[in-house]
Amino acid sequence: DTGVSQDPRHKITKRGQNVTFRCDPISEHNRLYWYRQTLGQGPEFLTYFQNEAQLEKSRLLSDRFSAERPKGSFSTLEIQRTEQGDSAMYLCASSLDRVIVYEQYFGPGTRLTVT
Amino acid sequence: AQKITQTQPGMFVQEKEAVTLDCTYDTSDPSYGLFWYKQPSSGEMIFLIYQGSYDQQNATEGRYSLNFQKARKSANLVISASQLGDSAMYFCAMSALMNNNAGNMLTFGGGTRLMVKP
DSSP 8-class letter at A5: E
pLDDT of residue A56: 82
Contacts of A50 in chain B (CB under 8 A): 101, 103
CA A114 to chain B, closest CA, distance in angstroms equals 19
Contact B93 A99 (CB under 8 A): no
CA B107 to chain A, closest CA, distance in angstroms equals 7
Distances (CA, A) of A34 to A20, A44, A65, B60, B103: 13, 9, 11, 28, 11
Chain A interface test: which of B38, B106, B113 (most A C-beta within 10 Å): B106
Q: Which 3 state secondary structure label does DSSP give A84?
A: helix
Taking only the tens place, the pLDDT of each residue in B10-33 is 999 999 999 999 999 999 888 889
Taking only the tens place, the pLDDT of each residue in A40-70 is 899 999 999 988 988 888 888 889 999 999 9
Average pLDDT over every residue of A109-115: 97
Q: Which of B59, B20, B39, B66 is nearest to A108 (CA)?
A: B39
Residue A69 phi/psi, 5° resolution? -145, 75
Average pLDDT over every residue of A61-84: 94
Residues of B within an 8 Å Cβ radius of A? 4, 33, 35, 37, 42-47, 50, 52, 91, 93, 95, 97, 99, 101-111
Question: How far is it, in rounded angstroms, from Cα B58 to Cα B8?
Answer: 22
Name residue A108's beta-bridge partners.
none
Contact B105 A103 (CB under 8 A): no
Residue A98's contacts (CB-CB under 8 Å, 6 or more residues apart) are none
End-to-end CA distance of chain B: 41
Q: What is the pLDDT along chain B (118 residues), one digit of tens a residue?
A: 889 999 999 999 999 999 999 999 999 888 889 999 999 998 889 999 999 998 889 999 999 999 999 999 999 999 999 999 999 999 999 988 765 555 678 999 999 999 999 9
CA A108 to chain B, closest CA, distance in angstroms equals 4
Question: How far is it, in rounded angstroms, from Cα A85 to Cα A115?
Answer: 10
